[in-house]
Structure 1
Amino acid sequence: MSVLIPARNEESTLPHLLSGLARQSLMPLEVIVVDDHSTDRTTAIAAQPWSGLAVTVCSAPHLPQGWCGKTWALHNGVLASRGELLVFLDADTEPTPDFLHCLVAAHQKLGGLVTVQPYHRTEKPYEQLSLLFNLVGLMAVPLGANCGVAFGPAMVSRRTDYDRSGGHEAVAGKVVEDWYLAHAYERAELPVSAFLGDGQIAYRMYPGGLRDMVVGFNKNFATAAGEVRWSWMLAVVLWLSGLFWAAWCLPASLLGWPLVGDHSILSNVLVYGAYVIQLLVISRPIGRFTWINLLFPIPVLFFLGVFLQAIFKLESGEVLWKGRLFSTR
């Protein structure tokens, strides 16, 4: 088993992943960190000894036209690897000691491409604003065995299946490569499965600050929105409509703002409270979202603001990510 990690300026996140891999109950044959032209201490950190973990650091060649940094890094990582089983992990993931054992066991049962969406570990207040992005991103897709959806942070595949699908070369220019890699496996008549990683693997999505989080979600919206099935998107839009309505009605009834429907404060408090309870329940396996559920109008406003920005990004046809400009068309 070869574990392949693309890394671009990941000096703050990479130690969590490598120390987690060093504690695995099922140890990999090799761990390859592919440095994607980092300007920080990513390479030096990866080259440190990690309790017997066999870590190899290689540098991705110059990025050719038509490739994204992550797809190019992983493509070269596969070329440098020796294992028959390929595990792809983002540098910001944090696996528990049994993660690789569970991942490989799931793959032995299901075959094809098996992927996992990590639990979103939040630390700072601004990270709580990502509540709706996490929920909507998972509500809009099916989950489980042979669902046809892939999550890029944690994936496993046999090398023969990877080659048969075309691998990352088939999705070279895709910023959100996991969506399109799932399609490549399906075209090769290989199953694609996706699961939640609660209790097995976690990550902090955007520890670099609020601006990084906004840019990251802009990228995801602008490049992946068109891939969601219309029936699932319709269901999500209807759910969001109810949430937005509840976010408006309580403050409107309290402050005398325009309101269509029942102006009773009590009825609007009950509706508001029902949505709070719902959010607390459905967000629990997805990430660490606490007090923000009580104040859900705040992430609603944040969601709408980023969504409008993403529309303009989609119109412009370009998105800036990690210092590189990519096409969304």
Structure 2
Amino acid sequence: MTGYDGYDDRHDGAPAGESGRPDEPAAEHGMTRRQLMRHAGWFGGAVVLTVASGEVISHVAGARDATAEAATAGAAAGSGELRFVQVSDSHIGFQGPANMDVAGSFKEAIHQVNSLGFRPDFVMHSGDLTHLSTAGQFDQVKQMMTGMKTDRVFTVPGEHDSIGDAGRAYRRAFGAGTLGDGWYSFDTHGVHFIALVNTLSLEKLGHLGNDQIDFVRKDVAGLSSDTPVVVFSHIPLFAMYPKWGWSTDDALKVIALLRRFSSVTCLNGHVHQLFTKTDGNITFHSATTTAYPLPKPGRAPAPTPQVVPARQLKDALGIRSVGYRRGDRELAVTDERLA
């Protein structure tokens, strides 16, 4: 993949799920109520995941929580260790009462990335960079992201980045060096990364398609089963809430290809809220947004932008930092409020 800064670190092979339906209140959104409380509130609570004696442990933390900062630093301290940041759903071009200044919010998110206390190895924007996929909006978000203090910026498209043209404007702006409709993979710090596109064939759910699934199959074929794998997509690769399209209809075919790996982390956007689900060796993390909140699944007729009191908006927005140390079984994930 060639980021817009010209970086090329693609793995030469050429890959990257679905489970649990969140319908029952007692096991709402794929988790028990106790697990849901452990993994944080829907709107902006920072979630820190660490590994102790092989067990993934989480706690809820504020943006400046000392334990959260220690977890991030501990996961990434020392030479040869990986630190990267995920931002998502900036929706540049959106106009509405849910956020009257999405560009200003994204600027604050960029400032937060630059104030983490370390220089990320890369930043991944996991889709819906723009709201209406116009050339001007793509140019604006591209220019804004040049202000991030990182060597590399990667992206995957959201459905808002493909309005009316099947993603052609997105690929002109961000697709250099990608394959097919914009998918790619790369390796760094002993971790294999796969960036998928599941927003182009939307009838109801996300969709990958046979060409992309074949790409995943070939891409992971030569990897050792102890290679950590991280998968980026916009729409979740699990059945978070299919009624709203928060799922990918053929993701199980890709998940099956990843079952042999000891550690797989799938990071997505789209849903504008934090959520964590573990299925065997695979952990799914949905990210929050830098633009506006969406309702909790089933708590509104449709996933439309939610208006919250101005003082609460930043609590619903945020960024995610991720650390990995060679030899660890899992990645350390910290979600931080924009406030």
Q: Which TM-score band applies after superposition, normalised by the shorter structure?
A: under 0.3
Q: Please identify the structure whose Cα radius of gyration is greater.
A: 1
| TM-score using structure 1 length | 0.25
Higher-helix-fraction structure: 1
TM-score (norm 2): 0.25
Task: Flag the structure with higher strand content.
Answer: 2
RCO higher in 1 or 2 (8 Å CA, sep ≥ 6)? 2
